[in-house]
Homo-oligomer: A and B are copies of this chain.
Amino acid sequence: MHDLSCTGVTKTFGPFTAVSDVSLDVPSGSFFSILGPSGCGKTTLMRMIAGFETPTAGDIRIKGESVVAVPPNKRNVKMVFQHLALFPMMNVGENIAYGLRCRGDNRADIKRAVTRILERIGLPGSEEKRIDQLSGGQKQRIAIARCMVLEPDVLLLDEPLGALDLKLREHMKIELKLLQHQFETTFLYITHDQSEALVMSDQVAVMNAGRFEQIGPPKELYQAPVSGFVAGFVGDSNCLPGRIVEVRGSEAEVALDGGGAVVGHLSDASANGDEVEVFMRPEALQIGAVDGVPGLDGTVDSLLFNGANSRVLVKLATGQLIEVADPSQVDTAGEGSSVRISWFPDRARIFARRYG
């Protein structure tokens, strides 16, 4: 049985369809992420699960029971809001106790539960602190504790790291994952940051314009995207527009817009003459000709040093800049020198061109 499952969930606002025919099944105890650009409908989907919006069509089941007719305060899914929504007029202890009080637990039990959960999230004894005395990361943990103390079937998290600063976000990514392990609760996590989704999740659904484009484990999305959108959105990619001139089995030759031709792996049903995009990850490229593999000529535009993430920017004859991974940046060709970029055809993926 799945902790949470949606079937054909759709939500329209007037003429606009925010979520369109979405189905998902989240196995018990897993970390499931929904990844998509801003405005693609992630929050709307989550609000339907929490009960703040009613689906236009489709069914939502929690532990197998349909909850479409259950009011939000009766559903056993708890939510961590994007800006956390901690109650500013209550202290930490009261925030955490709120749900327990609503449930009608007795005072002694509440006090015990609050103490215990504060210990578990590593903030023992902070009951009396005011919310505005907490750091960003502490607030984060309180928001999670406030939900977890109620032992929900599913915990929903709507871009909870969005408001944190860079270093803290990196840190909290790992911490969230550990918390989930510790509580063994099902997490449904929303984000538009692909690295968050990849690092933390067991399963990721990539969402675009109200629909799911692909659901799968992070590695699968990264290595075997099913659409141009997924290939471009998950991980860094160079994207070269062109048109298929010849299909050879699972490979095809693409004549690039603006000149040059490349060979790559056909990833969707594109056929001869179709307009396509070729996606190549920077780490799939290398500088220098390699026998028997395709390549493109260009000049080194600049070297972008960034430790293990260093890149060489190569400018093609068409003027397009291509990022090539160059982790070591030792004996790289200097700026302005002519180079050839090579890759193995199976690491260049060809998808039908996206419009709009």
Contacts and interface: CB of A to CB of B under 8 A. Distances in A.
A302 B38 contact: no
Contacts of A104: none
Given A304-B174, A327-B283, A195 B309 contact: yes
Contact of A177 (B200, B281, B302): B302
Interface of A: 37-38, 165-167, 174, 177, 192-193, 195, 198-200, 218-219, 222, 234-236, 281-283, 302, 304-309, 311, 313, 321, 325, 327, 329
Nearest to A311: B199
A313 B222 CA distance: 20
A251 to B, nearest CB: 22
A306 B38 contact: no
B235 A313 contact: no
19 contacts: A37-B167, A38-B165, A174-B304, A174-B313, A195-B306, A198-B305, A198-B306, A198-B307, A199-B305, A199-B306, A200-B304, A218-B305, A219-B329, A234-B307, A235-B307, A235-B308, A236-B307, A281-B308, A308-B325
A235 to B, nearest CB: 4
Contacts of A302: 177
Nearest to A37: B167
Contacts of A309: 195, 308-309
Given A199-B305, A306-B199, A192 B219 contact: no
Contacts of A308: 235-236, 281-283, 309, 325
A174 B199 CA distance: 25
| Number of copies of this kind of chain in the complex | 2
Contacts of A236: 307-308
A292 to B, nearest CB: 22
B281 A219 contact: no
A193 B166 CA distance: 7
Nearest to A234: B307
Contacts of A327: 283
A19 to B, nearest CB: 22
Contacts of A281: 307-308
A305 B313 CA distance: 25
A37 to B, nearest CB: 8
Q: Which of A195, A198, A307, A308 has the most chain B CB within a 10 Å cutoff?
A: A307
Contacts of A307: 198, 222, 234-236, 281, 283
Given A198-B306, A200-B304, 11 more contacts: A174-B313, A198-B304, A199-B304, A199-B305, A199-B306, A199-B311, A222-B307, A281-B307, A281-B308, A308-B309, A308-B325
Contacts of A166: 192-193
A200 B235 CA distance: 21
Contacts of A192: 165-166
A305 B222 contact: yes
A281 to B, nearest CB: 7
Contacts of A195: 306, 309
